[in-house]
Amino acid sequence: MTDYLNIKLSEGEIRGLSNLGLAHIGDCVYELMVRSRIICSGRSTSGGLHRETVKYVSAPAQAEAVSKILPVLTDAERDVYRRGRNTRVNSVPKNADISQYHAATGLEALFGWLYLNGCHDRLNELFAIIMEEA
């Protein structure tokens, strides 16, 4: 049985994924990390949980998060971020401009790439930098 919570793909398998595929899984990884952080802080009402989560997972918030981690990214991580950021998208949410949405897609692609490579420590390291001032 495949352990989808601790999946680790080969380099070839990851290279075969589209940038949007990486962003798709990365979006989930990032949101799971945000939600985990929020519930560990003791918030408990459903409305409060949702509002707090949205503050961190919206495209503008993710674009701001990118600015915090860009200086510490490795060359390989920067390349993945750049490829995700440059991916053509068909729509942009009403609460974000196109540059914010592209930056958010790049962040999600990076988090997806790290997750699929099994780099959980690095994910936690980058997430801690993003959440430092929060």
Q: Is 3 a catalytic residue?
A: no
Contact between residue 27 and residue 108 where contact means Cβ atoms under 8 Å apart: yes
Distance CA 48, CA 67 (A): 26
Q: Measured between alpha carbons, how far is residue 28 from residues 15, 35, 57 in Å?
A: 19, 10, 10
Catalytic residue among 3, 27, 75, 97: 27
State the DSSP H helix or E strand holding residue 32, giving kind and residue range, or none if neither.
Answer: helix 19-40
Question: Annotated catalytic sites, by residue?
Answer: 27
